[in-house]
Amino acid sequence: MEKYYVFIATVLMILHIVHAQDQTGFISVDCGLTPGEPPYNALLTGLTYTSDAGLVNSGKTSAIAKEFESGYSKPTLSLRYFPDGVRSCYNLNVSRDTNYLIKATFVYGNYDGLKIDPNFDLYLGPNLWTTVSTNDTIEEIIHVTKSNSLQVCLVKTGISIPFINVLELRPLRKNVYVTQSGSLKYLFRAYLSNSGRSIRYPNDIYDRKWYAFFVEKSWTSVNTTLNVNATNGYELPEDVMATGATPLNVNATLNITWTVEPPNTQFYLYMHFAELQTLRANDIREFNMTVNGNFSYGPYSPKPLKTETVFDLAPEQCEGGACLLQLKKTPKSTLPPLLNAIEAFTVIEFPQMETNGDDVSGIKNVQDTYGLSRISWQGDPCVPKKFLWDGLNCNDSDISTPPIITSLDLSSSGLNGNITQAIQNLTHLQKLDLSNNNLIGEIPEFLADIKSLLVIDLSRNNLSGSVPPSLLQKKGLKLNVEGNPNLLCTSGSCVNKGENGHKKKSIVVPVVASIASVAVLIGALVIFFVLRKKKPSKVEGPHPPSDGRSEPAIMTKNRRFTYSEVVTMTNNFQGILGKGGFGIVYHGFVNGGEQVAVKMLSHSSSQGYKQFKAEVELLLRVHHKNLVSLVGYCDEGENLALIYEYMANGDLKEHMSGTRNRFILNWGTRLKIVVESAQGLEYLHNGSKPPMVHRDVKTTNILLTEHFQAKLADFGLSRSFPIEGETHVSTVVAGTPGYLDPEYYRTNWLTEKSDVYSFGIVLLEIITNRPVIDQSREKPHIAEWVGVMLTKGDIKSIMDPSLNGDYDSGSVWKTVELAMSCLNPSSARRPTMSQVVIELNECLAYENSRGGASGDMDSKSSIEVSLTFGTEMSPTAR
């Protein structure tokens, strides 16, 4: 037995060396490790843990009581606790827009001798993550970062002192564990085996912890000693996928039950399959999946020794919170269903936006410059409001934009040195109070450049020199510089020595507008409003009179801009981004620097107010990472504008045609773009309530961010299906020639399959890089031309020659087949967008696995399920 353990230890040591490079991007923090202690490698995993020095600026270190030590090992033996203050936060440097697995470990171990059960809140940034209320637990979440910093905060809510033992972050692949919104909170993770062994790093390269789950007497285990290919993006450990379970009775179903609390909780389910048995010639393993008796997916057959993941595309619920997953064999199947591993996560929404990034950077630079160690200056500066930093006031009234810092009061804070330039990053500041400190040097001119500043109090410091003229001339500014004996500008007057050495009087401080200026301003405003009132057609009601439209007003006033604001944000319509049937699209800036695209409705536009209204109301209602976001709109008289998020890389058509730049989009990038576009379209069809049909899917309406993330745009022609069970809408045909569904054109019956047809044309465009309509071809329409080429069986005649054969032929053929199925003359025989997403992910996985690289995904389906095992599946910190 001793030799066995020695052998295992030796193997683990070798594995640690082999996998050492896999820790790139990992953050592993032993929160109780003192700053002087060096990093170390954990015994069982080989993970390298470091001290939390520099990550948190409060708290004290301790260790669990001696009597509990035998049940644990480093790094859970030590901890940091926070007896002072309400909120204590770790500040972590992360990569923006990255999917992270985040784990926080809490082992009380009676470290303080008080035997008080923990009860405190855990926050991720400004949003509540969970409440820690057990003596031994790991809280786990999968979360996409919004910036290059992440804050994990512990909040005292009662007599219990917050503490933490370990904090770990593991970056995941971008295209796995994707949600429509929110983050994923761990519910359970299990592999079906009777081994009783838990598996984590280095076997799992993402350091997920897998618990053995095999309890049913009516089940039997299935395993293999052969290698199982697990490179499908989720990268499951081979030990997990080399085992599974099936019912003993060949005709029995494989049942898994669980509950969720509260009963209406939404969740995502991930099931991992691989065929482990060598099937005989006549053997078939095929089964369907149902949840609470409702069909979810199938028929499905696991691939021999190859991992496939079946997962939810949309969050699910179980009625009453009680869930039953059943895998049932089909009539032609000779073998019972098989399941290898399963994961489940509840959906947790984080609605509160973090404070404006520039403001956060500015205030932290101020903090660092002056060495401020206020106990409240931890976590997000502005939100939640109950944790607002002392000395700050913020504006967070618009939930669609990040909160901003509007006031900074550092009066009597013991400040030394010059007035820091970091203040100029606080571009929304209205009031600045630096009075009663020991500041020296001259008053910086950049204070005059902060346009929103109305009050500056620099009194009772040791400032010198003279007040910058730009500050003295700034209208509406109240400036107080009293009590600075070396400053040439005092409370009575600003004095400078002239050429003859005599003093000259200057402007009185504080700076105020003259009475005459105020009178003129008031008079001008009175005249403006009188004239404005005489033109009710320009301001009364939500629609302009010019086209006689009688459409009802847009129901919401959120994100509404005036025409004058549109003029300002576009710098009087200087930068043109493009032109279309709607009108001209201009480059603009809002919220102190956020780039936007402003689409102005041309008076001669063929698209009228009805389409404008439809697009605004749709985009105010639907939100998805692959749909272009609406920043706001303008509906003022004849002036109609849509303000979108700025898409730095234009549209897909530009990149395919080469008009945008000279480089060629490779096949993998093209697939990624259409996968993301398909996800946006799938959301409109299935995630939107009511479901929507886009009606104008084409490459010019697929826009790209600076990182080439694809987002679907232009929803002016979109239509909804408001009546439950309605299969189509009878409507006047609308769309773009070449992309238009022939069945829709012929019958005027619009269904979501019309979008599928248009998307099939998009797929042919990325495959061939040829025009949709080309009269010089024997078959002008791209679908007909590709159909003729396919009869010859030569993929090279179809593929874009600029790719020079640099692609996985299997991936290409599968994409071509998918495109042609989308173009089936009968809409009933076309795939759904959910099926299109699944197939495209497989195409991308094939391409990404080319040359030994692991694919992004090898997923087979969307399934609608729910979750929660018993307490035995909850992670503990052993």
Any idea which residues carry the catalytic annotation? 696
The two beta strands, 416-417 and 438-441, are: parallel
Distance of CA 517 to the CA centre of its chain: 49
Residue for token digits 């005059």? 448
Q: State how far the Cα of 95 lies from the Cα of 93, in Å rounded to an integer.
A: 7
Q: How many CB atoms lie within 10 A of CB 850?
A: 16
Between CA 199 and CA 208, with CA 204 as vertex, the angle to 5 degrees is 70
d(CA 463, CA 563) in angstroms, rounded, equals 44
Which two three-digit tokens encode residue 750? 């619009």
Measured between alpha carbons, how far is 251 from 796 in angstroms, rounded to an integer? 47
Bond preceding residue 351 cis, omega within 30 of 0: no
How many whole angstroms from its chain centre is CA 659? 30
Question: What value does the CA radius of gyration of the chain take, rounded to a whole number of Å?
Answer: 32
Helix (H, G, I), strand (E, B) or coil at 298: strand
3-state secondary structure at position 642: strand
Instruction: Identify whether the C-beta of residue 341 lies closer than 8 Å to the C-beta of residue 241.
Output: yes
- Pair 877, 105: CB distance under 8 Å: yes
- Calculate helix-pair angle for 833-848, 752-768, nearest 10 degrees: 20
Annotated binding residue at 796?
no
Residues 323 and 342: beta-carbon distance below 8 Å: no
What are the φ and ψ backbone dihedral angles of 228, each rounded to 5 degrees?
-110, 125
SS3 per-residue string spanning 471-495: HHCCCCCEEECCCCCCECECCCCEE
Please give the helix or strand (H or E) that residue 616 lies within, else none: helix 609-621
Side-chain-side CA neighbours of 709 within 13 Å: the count stands at: 17
What is the 3-state composition of the chain as percent helix, strand, coil, each rounded to the nearest 5?
25, 30, 50
Beta strands in 562-629 (DSSP E): 576-579, 583-590, 594-601
522: number of Cβ within 10 Å? 10
What is the rounded CA–CA span in Å between residue 205 and residue 54? Answer: 27
- Which residue, among 810, 751, 811, 822, has the nearest Cα to 786 in the 3D structure? 822
Identity at 555, one-letter amino acid code: M
Strand partners, 88: 154
Neighbours of 225 (CB within 10 A): 6
Which residue type, as a one-letter code, is found at position 398? D
C-alpha span between 686 and 692 (Å, rounded): 8
Are 145 and 170 a contacting pair, CB within 8 Å?
A: no
CB 103 within 8 A of CB 166: yes
Structure tokens at 763: 């797929």
Tokens of 151: 């804050």
Virtual torsion, Cα 636, 642, 643, 644, nearest 10 deg: 170
Please report the sign of the dihedral spanned by the C-alpha atoms of residue 775, residue 779, residue 780, residue 782: negative
Nearest to 359 by CA among 396, 294, 404: 404
Q: Which run of H or of E encompasses 258?
A: strand 254-259
Number of residues that make up the chain: 878
- Binding-site annotation: residue ranges for ATP: 599
- Binding-site annotation: residue ranges: 599
